[in-house]
């Protein structure tokens, strides 16, 4: 079975456009779902979750605040 160059060009173009459309749909879904709403807040939330009073006194390296 012999395929012409145009057949391969059409197949590869179709596959490429399908991948690109899938990526765009995935990106739009992530934006609408709020995945990129608070990108900076994650690193500050880490500090809010830390409560030194809940930890046991383990030694001299313990945070005292």
Task: Break the chain down into helix, strand, coil percent, rounded to 5.
Answer: 60, 0, 40
Cα separation, 27 vs 35, whole angstroms: 10
Report how many domains make up the chain.
1
In a domain, 62, yes or no: no
Q: Return the SS3 of 54.
A: helix
Q: What is the pLDDT of residues 29-39, one digit of tens each?
A: 999 998 888 87
Selection from 29, 32, 33, 65 nearest residue 50 by Cα:
65
In a domain, 24, yes or no: yes
In a domain, 64, yes or no: no
Q: What is the pTM of this model?
A: 0.54
In a domain, 37, yes or no: yes
In a domain, 12, yes or no: yes
Q: Number of C-alpha atoms within 13 angstroms, CB side, residue 50?
A: 9
In a domain, 60, yes or no: no
pLDDT in tens, the chain (65 residues): 677 889 999 999 999 999 999 999 999 999 999 888 887 877 777 777 666 665 555 555 555 54
């Amino acid at each position: 079975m012999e395929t012409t160059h145009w057949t391969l060009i059409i197949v590869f173009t179709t596959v490429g456009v399908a991948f690109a459309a899938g990526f765009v749909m995935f990106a739009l879904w992530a934006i609408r779902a709020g995945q990129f709403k608070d990108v900076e807040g994650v690193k500050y939330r880490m500090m809010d979750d830390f409560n030194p009073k809940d930890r046991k006194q383990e030694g001299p390296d313990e945070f005292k605040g």
